[in-house]
Chain A
Amino acid sequence: MWPKDAIGAAKVPFLLLCLLPLAGIGWDIAHQSLGPDPVAQLEHRTGDWALRLLLATLAVTPLRRVTGFAPLLRFRRMLGLFAFFYATMHLATYLIIDLGGFWTQLFAEIVKRPYITVGFLAWAGLVPLALTSTRGMMRRLGRRWTQLHRLVYPIALLAVLHFLWLVKSGQKIAVREPLVYLAIFAVLMLWRIPWTRLAARLGLREPPATGSPAPQRR
């Protein structure tokens, strides 16, 4: 077992690691090196990182079970909050920078285009999860907190669909990248199924996904 101080200390470099994509984007903006279509680049980069970090949060539980390294759970909240952070940047880039003054287009887009609808729903779903990520909310909601945070599964699926549906159809190559994310999502979900079944069969309860209730330092 790691001493609590070591975990607390490890969170600082971990936080910096999560900020690296943002620093990269900031650097490229400052140096005008986002390429000929910088807005699209900004959308792609923030979207990519939102999706990656979202899947990373889903990978924490399997990783912990495989490695038996319990302190991994302590990093999950930060991963989730950074996923929300990049998703918010992604949405803000689309709304403020890309759409610019053409606000009326937004409503038409959200209603008419499945990939935008689905992407927006994914972001909206993350909002309550981010709002209830504090220790106080965790305590107040109790078991319902766990239930609420299972929302992350459909959210991740929506996020992958958002990516899958926006690429041009009729080409096998273009869907390769979103399909990789879909495969990762599928593996992470499939991994969970035998455990719940096994737990049910043995009459055991699945341990709460929130990890140890030990106090955390940030």
Chain B
Amino acid sequence: MTKRFFDTIPGSLITPEPIYHGRREWLKSLALSPLLIAGCKAESTAGTQAPIMPDAAPLQARRPSAWDTRDEQTSWHDATHHNNFYEFGTGKGDPSRHSARFKPRPWSVEVAGLAEVTGTFDLDDLVKPELLEERIYRLRCVEAWSMVIPWVGVPLADCLKRFKPLSSAKYVAFTTVMRPAEMPGQSYPVLDWPYREGLRIDEAMHPLTLLAVGMYGRVLPNQNGAPLRLVVPWKYGFKSIKSIVRIEFVAEQPVTSWNAAGPDEYGFYSNVNPQLDHPRWSQRTERRIAGSGGSLFGNRIETLPFNGYGEHVASLYTDADARKYF
């Protein structure tokens, strides 16, 4: 059964702001929108072509966020052709090649555990298009490369609060969809499927933590975690779980996939930390994949503590010993 929580926000409350990034793309999407508004179902026929937002209107409310980085953005092409999404294969190019069969619509998410409100919710009820924001975040992979991506989504906290988590809920556990027929990588025992991730409740409620449904003003492509993913910019990329089908409020630290696969290499917290090397490679610097791509020189930059978001999130970890709770 589907429950509804969101009140429709009157259009008069939405302040229209000039769209400063991807303006031309957005205009293009406007031109196309009459075709696509006809039915979101048309999306599946669009395949991996990453359909333009079916309802372009919410993007009109995009506003510069206080969290935006001014770093040069990664190109759409690079951000959609260099992915770690092992459900579609372990190569960086596998997700873009092998995700065409995946059907991100219709989509519902099961909310369970220590909260007053639980149940199964349709994606559109979970993330209301009117509330979408754009956030330009740095994304730092544990493999020491990074990107700068304009996400479209809502703060996870805004979504979670509506379920009224109980005070006993200390962590939030997330699960990726399990569909071996559509996700060829799941037929191989690369990880203990389905993929699982988790956050401490204060991390989940932090205003930086984003529940994303789009990027670059468009619906998330399959290879980037369609239709719903997490973006936790101060943690290594694998914490930002993709294609979420289940959210559970729990009392104990949940099992997470990479931590289970290599506890010495991938901690539960996995905050970006240049001082704490991966056992087999340094985390002091990173290769930034940005701009037009294909550049051979000058890509290496210093990695910042908490991926540069320390002033916002360091206070969450004042007691924690970074080595013990890495």
A171 adjacent to B287 (CB under 8 Å):
no
A36 adjacent to B277 (CB under 8 Å):
no
Encode A101-131 as 1/0 by CB contact (under 8 A) with B.
Answer: 1100100110011110000000000000000
- Tally the A-B contacts, defined by beta carbons under 8 Å: 92
Question: Which residues of A167-188 have CB atoms within 8 Å of chain B's CB atoms?
Answer: 168-174
B98 CB contacts on chain A under 8 angstroms: none
A102 adjacent to B90 (CB under 8 Å):
no
With beta carbons under 8 angstroms apart, the residue of A33, A42, A98, A166 that contacts B280 is A166
Known: A36-B289, A37-B287, A105-B282. Contact between A171 and B90, CB under 8 A?
A: yes
A169 adjacent to B285 (CB under 8 Å):
no
Other A-B pairs beyond A35-B93, A165-B280, A173-B190, 9, CB < 8 Å? A35-B81, A35-B92, A37-B145, A100-B300, A109-B281, A112-B282, A166-B281, A169-B265, A171-B90
Interface of B is mostly: loop
B294 adjacent to A38 (CB under 8 Å):
yes
B280 adjacent to A36 (CB under 8 Å):
no
A33 CB contacts on chain B under 8 angstroms: 294
B300 adjacent to A38 (CB under 8 Å):
no
Q: Does A29 contact B (CB under 8 A)?
A: yes
Size range of the chain B interface in the assembly: 35 or more
A42 CB contacts on chain B under 8 angstroms: 296
A114 adjacent to B145 (CB under 8 Å):
no
Interface residues of A (CB under 8 A from B): 29, 32-40, 42, 97-102, 105, 108-109, 112-115, 165-166, 168-174
Encode B245-287 as 1/0 by CB contact (under 8 A) with A.
Answer: 0000000000000101110010000000000010011101101
A108 CB contacts on chain B under 8 angstroms: 282, 284
Interface of A is mostly: loop
B78 adjacent to A36 (CB under 8 Å):
yes
A173 adjacent to B188 (CB under 8 Å):
yes
> CA of A105 to CA of B283 in the docked complex: distance in angstroms?
10
B74, B81, B265, B289 — which one has the most chain A CB atoms within 10 A of its CB? B289
A115 adjacent to B280 (CB under 8 Å):
yes
A172 CB contacts on chain B under 8 angstroms: 188-190
Which residue of A is nearest B142, CB measured? A168
A174 CB contacts on chain B under 8 angstroms: 90, 190
A36 adjacent to B92 (CB under 8 Å):
yes
Which residue of B is nearest A166, CB measured? B280
Which residue of A is nearest B263, CB measured? A170
Q: Does B49 contact A (CB under 8 A)?
A: no
B262 CB contacts on chain A under 8 angstroms: 168-170
Which residue of A is nearest B266, CB measured? A170
A165 CB contacts on chain B under 8 angstroms: 280
Q: Does B293 contact A (CB under 8 A)?
A: yes
What is the CB-to-nearest-CB distance from A31 to chain B, in angstroms, rounded to a whole number? 9
